[in-house]
Amino acid sequence: MNTRTLWRTHRTVILPMALAMLLTGLATPDAQAQTPAPAPKPVIVSGTVPDEATRVAVVSRLREIYGAERVVDQLALGAVVAPPQWSQYVGKLLSPSLKQVNHGQLSVQGQTVHLQGEVGNEAQRQQLAAEMAQSLNPTYSVRNGLRVAAREQSLVDQALANRTIEFEPGSAVLKPAGQLILNEMAAALLQLRGRRVALIGHTDALGARPANVSLSLARAQAVKDYLMAKGLPADSLSTSGMGPDQPVASNATEEGRARNRRIEFRVGA
């Protein structure tokens, strides 16, 4: 039995006799006041399937999920023998839930399904595998190779150590103390080996919201510019400004407002 389905990111080597798809799962920043995030990587679908109908069905389904412009069709037709209703079961596996997976690969060889990649938490890891198993009949087996991608975020959180990157009042000019923290953050981010990091600016609730949203974005951009000067690639950093909309403390006290004026570093795909 040679029929095999695979999906992968740009970092995964394409295997022979495979069908491939990208699992991104990188959360889209808030639409308000943001700079464009790096363009998503293509979804490559490759390998051998038994007939043209299967090829069309798989490619069409992937384009529904990820968008036609992202799907690269490298499928071939071959003399492979598929189990009964194999194409229909493969279609059930191609669920929008798979977009939660980063750096992912799905391989379906006969009646064996192998899902690999990174997810944000343990609940997602278990839920995805369970959903796959429920969509198939008992003759199929699902191997859950997903892992929780916590190491990189933990590395960044430890470098920041609950400190606040300080700016001059009402401006996006970094204070010397803020620059010192960013020097440490740059060293940590350089260890992520190409992972994307969202820089999200936040403010307190004093003043007009539109001005705070603009200020939070400007501060996130100032952090990006500083990190780029320290060697971080521009396309590994995206910026957005949330203004006062996502407080972590009460805005009724100066201490709480100081905590709310922050830059968040969120590791993605």
pLDDT at 24: 38
pLDDT at 40: 64
- 99 is in which domain, residue-wise? 4-148
pLDDT at 149: 67
Specify whether 57 is located in the same domain as 96: yes
pLDDT at 150: 65
Specify whether 135 is located in the same domain as 220: no
Q: Is the pTM of this model over 0.75?
A: no
Specify whether 187 is located in the same domain as 140: no
Specify whether 242 is located in the same domain as 185: yes
Residues of the chain below pLDDT 50: 1-37
Domain of 143, CATH number, reads 3.40.1520.20
Question: Looking at the 3D structure of the chain, how many domains does it have?
Answer: 2
Residue 22 sits at the vertex; the CA angle it makes with 192 and 242, to the nearest 5 degrees, is: 60
Of 148, 171, 191, the residue that ends a domain is 148
Q: How many CB atoms lie within 10 A of CB 59?
A: 21
Of 148, 172, 187, the residue that ends a domain is 148
pLDDT at 18: 39
Specify whether 23 is located in the same domain as 72: yes
Helix (H) or strand (E) holding 242: strand 237-243
Specify whether 161 is located in the same domain as 205: yes
State how far Cα 125 lies from the chain centre: 14
Q: Tell the burial category of 234 from Cβ atoms under 10 Å away from its Cβ (0-12, 13-18, 19+).
A: exposed
Contacts of 9 (CB under 8 A, 6+ apart): 22, 23, 24, 41, 102, 103, 104, 105, 117, 269
Specify whether 42 is located in the same domain as 79: yes
Specify whether 212 is located in the same domain as 131: no
Specify whether 13 is located in the same domain as 131: yes
Specify whether 93 is located in the same domain as 130: yes
Domain of 221, CATH number, reads 3.30.1330.60
pLDDT at 1: 44
Specify whether 14 is located in the same domain as 106: yes
Q: Tell the burial category of 168 from Cβ atoms under 10 Å away from its Cβ (0-12, 13-18, 19+).
A: exposed
pLDDT at 34: 47
Of 105, 127, 148, the residue that ends a domain is 148
pLDDT at 2: 44
Specify whether 179 is located in the same domain as 114: no
